[in-house]
Structure 1
Amino acid sequence: MRKPFENEFPDGKYFSFYIEKVESQNVIEALTVQKDVVKKLYKNLSEEQKMYRYAVGKWTPQQILGHLTDTERIFGYRALAIARGEKQSLPSFDENEYMDASDFNEQPFESLLEQYRLVRESSIALFSSFSEEVASRIGIANGNAVSARALVWMIAGHERHHLNILKERYNIA
């Protein structure tokens, strides 16, 4: 699946920020590699590292894992709906409100990691089935015209963003 053209997502929003973070020219390959990176990264964390906050009010790595899974579910649903020709505007979500309503730090870590794996594998299977025509379909998500393809690339870029934060602010690599 090719990288989205600039007319497939809004200008000046977080869309381009995430899409530009994807280093690979093959988003399916990027998603597959990221799955292995995340699994290895999180499997090697101590209990203390999983619950570490670099500043007051910041999320723990365990919460970030839950956030990655939630976000992929939401962006994946948006990509599916748009790919299938949905005409209704798809709602936005506030990641901080979702985090406040979650209990990721109280959930068993292995369960969160398994949810991440299952969601990612399902996403890869779905997105691999998109033809170029299907991937290029445009819909409305979060009040913006966006292609299914752009949402797929955003998943990979969003995860790259958080992997960078884990490295830079949590000293986890």
Structure 2
Amino acid sequence: MDLLKKLSLKVGLILLLGLTITSTNWAQERGNEEPRTSPNATVSQTIGTTDITFTYGRPAVNNREIFGELVPYGDVWRTGANESTALVVSKDVTIEGNKLKAGTYSLYTIPGKDKWTIIINTKLSWGTQYNKSKDLFRFTVEPQKADYRERMMFYFEEVTNKKATVVLHWDETKVPFTIKV
């Protein structure tokens, strides 16, 4: 793919995400200029020629007990703060063996002590307006003990031209899963 086509694709994805946010009233109406308690973040990674982007709210620990308390075990969690976490993929991918077409999706989780369920859903929404009927698929992964992280974040590890490990990391827990192109 030449540089102009690749640039056009990236601009198109940005516009698509913007239109999706606008058309679903996904963006928070704030009414003031104060910073968010849980600021938004975006992380993006190219795997081979496929762009993967997560946009999410970054809550802080703030001396709270996170998993099992603030975020109860066994309940669907929006996986961040404010709006649902958005996942944008520029081309078809496979996530932990599940095929996902290029597009914009939401990511929810069900945390557990020994396993987490990751949910890929088609509805972007504010807060906990989760709709199970919009699930595309679910898969389970094992959480890992990790160094302390005050603010939740997503990042990519072990990136190759064919796959990468996505890591959700907050408090002393990280939850990895693999995306293949």
TM-score by length of 2: 0.24
Higher helix share: 1
Higher strand share: 2
TM-score by length of 1: 0.25
